[in-house]
Chains A and B, each alone.
Chain A
Amino acid sequence: GESVGLHLPTLSVQEGDNSIINCAYSNSASDYFIWYKQESGKGPQFIIDIRSNMDKRQGQRVTVLLNKTVKHLSLQIAATQPGDSAVYFCAEKGTGTYKYIFGTGTRLKVLA
């Protein structure tokens, strides 16, 4: 199928290693953030979210870190697996709106 994000930044990691994907967001008033995973030919799939009053949230094998001072969001994936290969997007929501702004995305390649 047609690929998503042919010219995206790419992160290549060895299977079993940890991955860190970074995102700089634009609006200091954003109050909610989501990380999505998108595989080729599919819609984005929710991974983990975080509110602006938090700086860290953990899920299964994933952790999101939020640094509001520098408007930076990161996604950490522990023990990266081949099935984690995809394009990852961060999205932010501004206060008082339900309009979500997506970042440009990062392609994660897991090397066997």
Chain B
Amino acid sequence: DTGVSQNPRHKITKRGQNVTFRCDPISEHNRLYWYRQTLGQGPEFLTYFQNEAQLEKSRLLSDRFSAERPKGSFSTLEIQRTEQGDSAMYLCASSPGDRGWGETQYFGPGTRLLVL
């Protein structure tokens, strides 16, 4: 199965530390998305990439958050100076990027972050 993969699956950190998550999309998928999901809520859009270009960012993505997709393949999401409110599931999704009107997003299993 060559679906979307995310690493690590779980991360526990202390408040104030920096964390980085990695997402490997489905091969040849041009679009990559990051979402955050807290208990009892649907996924909240954070940002998306078309190849290596970051095209849209949510206002949820504060200056402590940064995402990159340097070669248009895998992506990283970094959170600096973590806060307890950052505790959530961070989901990555990818899509082919060859349809103009909308297309299926394939989600990874997520990285669950707990900030103590």
By a beta-carbon cutoff of 8 Å, the part of chain A in contact with chain B is 2-8, 31-32, 34, 36, 41-46, 49, 51, 89, 91, 93, 97-105
Contact = CB atoms under 8 A, between A and B. Distances in A.
A93 B44 contact: no
Contacts, number: 74
B102 A43 contact: no
Interface of B: 4, 31, 33, 35, 37, 39-45, 48, 50, 55-56, 58, 91, 93, 101-102, 104-110, 112
A89 B43 contact: yes
A43 B109 contact: yes
Nearest to B45: A99
Contact of B107 (A3, A44, A97): A44
B39 A93 contact: no
Given A42-B109, A45-B107, A51-B102, A100 B33 contact: yes
Contacts of B58: 99
Given A6-B40, A8-B40, A31 B48 contact: no
Contact of A5 (B39, B44, B101, B105): B39
9 contacts: A31-B102, A34-B105, A43-B108, A46-B106, A51-B101, A51-B102, A98-B48, A99-B58, A102-B42
Contacts of A100: 33, 45, 105
B114 to A, nearest CB: 10
Contacts of B106: 46
A103 B110 contact: no
Contacts of B40: 5-8, 104
